[in-house]
Structure 1
Amino acid sequence: MNRTALTPQEAADFLGVHKETIYIMVRNGQIPHFKVRKKIFFRVDSLNEWIKKQEQNSMKELA
């Protein structure tokens, strides 16, 4: 993926979840995002780092 910022729909596709799930995660402060004129965006680098942290947390729970 060559873009550095994604829309909520693109972030949902990237993560394999429904767009509404993305909005819920934003409201709950569970996913990194930023706003430009009230529109929500997601940096690809931030999402990749977030995925790594989620993976590490899952591994800790299994141990």
Structure 2
Amino acid sequence: MKPRHDAVPSPIMTTPEVARYLQVHQSTLYKLIRRGQIPVFKIGSDYRFDRDTIKTWMADRTRKFQALRPKSGPTPDLEH
């Protein structure tokens, strides 16, 4: 069966779907899972992700990152 282009995306995502969504390799996603750094739940032996929770998690991480950046002045030299 072909996927419908007008269909509403599922609120539950699989590991490959989240890896594509975050644009990371699946092994990176599994590291985040093992470290407890990403919200996840299991159904049987499979990991699943709530789409809205992942969006909130990304927004929270973005806010935390932006809070750590200097407000003004030159950006730090990262090549040391």
TM range (shorter): over 0.9
Task: Output the TM-score relative to the length of structure 1.
Answer: 0.94
Q: Greater RCO between the two (CA within 8 Å, min separation 6)?
A: 1
Structure 1 residue 2, shift from structure 2 partner: 1.2
Identity among equivalent positions (%) equals 29
What is the number of residues matched between the two proteins? 63
Q: Any gaps of 5 or more consecutive residues in structure 1?
A: none
Structure 2 partner of 1:40: 47
Larger radius of gyration: 2
The unaligned stretches of length 5 or more in structure 2 are: 1-7, 71-80
Q: What secondary structure does 1:54 align onto?
A: helix
Determine helix, strand or coil for the equivalent of 2:24. coil
Please list every run of at least 4 consecutive aligned residues from structure 1 whose deviation after the TM superposition is greater than 2 angstroms: none
